């Protein structure tokens, strides 16, 4: 019988308090997520101080529930994994502090995990990873193309220079009167509209793999505000479709060119925006057309948002590679992978 290694994982990088128990990096025994959406909706986005206070309120309850649902005790746990960056510093500190306290009290190894590695490893629940590999990580705060020559080797070859894709969705959502988080609603509206506004595709043809969505956001907002000043009512479905088409075109174009340059066996799609049906459909089409020999693993829809199960999967990998942290582990809100030389 294969060895059973259980990871107790913590994720508190933004506005979800989550604790999970994961077996061997591939089996979720529990994944408790306490969301704060209702608390932040009235502000139109995440308020860091509010998020931190909610984490304090929920972290112990989520931990107890995760252990109970998995039907395990601390004696069954091999290691404690925790997101220590990137994210909101106050939120990260709650998870890091809880993980350190448990690791110290029960004499368990403490495994530090990059939040974006966690998003990437959400796809590990779909299938086995094969290397070399490319990942398109698209979330509320990050848009990155990450090349992995081998397991545990991460290299950013492209990233957003301003607004991340998910951030842009939320900002234009406010203009349309869509509650935070806006991504799901914009995606649904886009399916009912057409790309009639032809918003700019920033940096689409530039000889790099970086992204920029600030100009798109500004063009969208200016279009809506100018129409409002003229008393003109624009079709919200066409607006959503036009915005989303611009985002998807740039993400797909850059990803395909990255795959042209870096021969890989797999493409991973992960992060909160990876739940977008328009993006999934476009990448499915382009992969079959341009890179039929490269398999694509898409993170499960229920694991695209922030959750501790993804940290457990990544934490298991890091644990196997000997990653350990001491009791001096601190939150690193600006944590990044190594950039391309």
Q: Is residue 187 a known part of a binding site? A: yes
d(CA 58, CA 39): 14
Percent of the chain, pLDDT > 90?
A: 84
Q: Is residue 288 a known part of a binding site? A: no
Q: Is the entire prediction scored with pTM above 0.85?
A: yes
Q: What pLDDT does 141 receive?
A: 83
Percent of the chain, pLDDT > 70?
A: 95
CA distances, 200 to each of 182, 234, 238, 241, 257 (Å): 21, 18, 15, 13, 19
Number of H helices and E strands in the chain, helices first, is: 10, 11
Digit-coded pLDDT (tens) for 20-74: 999 999 999 999 999 766 665 666 666 777 778 888 999 999 999 999 999 999 9
Q: Is residue 323 a known part of a binding site? A: no
Q: What pLDDT does 341 receive?
A: 36
* Strands (E) located in 170-324: 266-270, 295-298
Domains belonging to the chain, first-starting first, are: 6-121+303-321 (3.30.420.40), 129-298 (3.30.420.40)
Q: Is residue 284 a known part of a binding site? A: no
Digit-coded pLDDT (tens) for 252-286: 999 999 999 999 999 999 999 999 999 999 999 99
Q: Is residue 226 a known part of a binding site? A: no
Mean of per-residue pLDDT scores for the chain: 93
Binned at pLDDT 50, 70 and 90, residue 1 comes out as very low
Instruction: List b or e across 154-191, with b for residues whose CB sees 16 or more CB atoms inside 10 angstroms.
Output: bebbbbbeebbbbbbbbbbbebbebebbbbebbbebbe
Digit-coded pLDDT (tens) for 113-155: 999 999 999 999 999 999 999 999 998 888 999 999 999 999 9
Q: What pLDDT does 99 receive?
A: 98
Mean pLDDT on 281-308: 96
Q: Is residue 88 a known part of a binding site? A: no
């Amino acid at each position: 019988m294969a060895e059973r290694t259980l990871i107790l994982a913590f994720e508190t990088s933004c506005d979800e308090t989550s604790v999970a128990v994961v077996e061997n990096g591939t089996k979720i025994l529990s994944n408790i997520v306490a969301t704060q959406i209702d608390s932040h909706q009235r502000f139109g986005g995440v308020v860091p101080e509010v998020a931190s206070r909610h984490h304090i309120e929920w972290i112990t309850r989520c931990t107890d529930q995760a252990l109970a649902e998995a039907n395990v005790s601390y004696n069954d746990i091999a290691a404690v994994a925790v997101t220590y960056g990137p994210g909101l510093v106050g939120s990260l500190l709650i998870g890091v502090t809880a993980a350190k306290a448990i690791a110290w009290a029960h004499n368990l190894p403490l495994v530090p995990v990059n939040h974006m590695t966690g998003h990437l490893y959400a796809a590990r629940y779909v299938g086995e990873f094969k290397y070399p590999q490319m990942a398109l990580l698209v979330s509320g705060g990050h848009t990155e193309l990450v090349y992995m020559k081998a397991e545990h080797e991460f290299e950013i070859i492209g990233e957003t220079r301003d607004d991340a894709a998910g951030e842009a969705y939320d900002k234009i959502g406010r203009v349309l009167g869509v509650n935070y988080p806006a991504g799901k609603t914009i995606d649904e509206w886009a399916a009912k509209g057409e790309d009639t506004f032809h918003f700019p595709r920033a940096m689409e043809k530039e000889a790099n793999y970086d992204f920029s969505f600030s100009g798109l956001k500004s063009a969208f907002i200016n279009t809506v505000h100018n129409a409002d000043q003229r008393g003109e009512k624009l079709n919200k479905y066409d607006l959503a479709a036009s915005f989303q088409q611009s985002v998807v075109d740039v993400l797909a174009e850059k990803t395909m060119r990255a795959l042209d340059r870096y021969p890989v066996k797999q493409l991973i799609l992960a992060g909160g925006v990876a739940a977008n049906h328009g993006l999934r459909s476009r990448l499915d089409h382009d992969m079959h057309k341009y890179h039929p020999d490269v398999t694509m693993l898409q993170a499960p829809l229920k694991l695209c948002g922030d959750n501790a199960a993804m940290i457990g999967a990544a934490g298991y990998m890091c644990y196997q590679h000997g990653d350990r942290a001491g009791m001096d582990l601190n939150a690193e809100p600006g944590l990044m992978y190594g950039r391309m030389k």
